[in-house]
Structure 1
Amino acid sequence: MSDATSARCVKCWVHGRVQGVGFRYTTQHEAQKLGLTGYARNLDDGSVEVVACGEGEQVEKLLAWLKAGGPRSASVEKVLTEPSQGDPTWTSFKIRY
Structure 2
Amino acid sequence: MSALGFKAWVHGRVQGVGFRYSTQAEAKRLGVQGYARNLDDGSVEVLAWGEAEPVEALIAWLKAGGPRSARVDKVLVEPYQPAQPPRDFTTG
**What TM-score bracket applies, with the shorter chain setting the length?**
over 0.9
Aligned partner of 2:46 among 41, 47, 50: 50
Q: For 1:81, what is the secondary structure of its paired residue?
A: strand
Match of 1:64 in 2: 60
Unaligned runs of 5+ in 1: none
Structure 1 equivalent of residue 5 of structure 2: 9
Normalised by the length of structure 1, the TM-score is 0.90
Residue 25 of structure 1 aligns to a residue whose secondary structure is helix
24-33 or 5-14: which moved more?
5-14
- How many residue pairs match? The answer is 92
CA spacing shift, 1:33–1:48, aligned 2, 3 Å: same
**Matched residue type, 1:73:** S
Distance 1:89 1:41 in 2: 17
Of all paired residues, the percent bearing the same amino acid is 66
RMSD between aligned alpha carbons? 1.2
**Residue ranges of structure 2 left out of the alignment (5+ in a row):** none
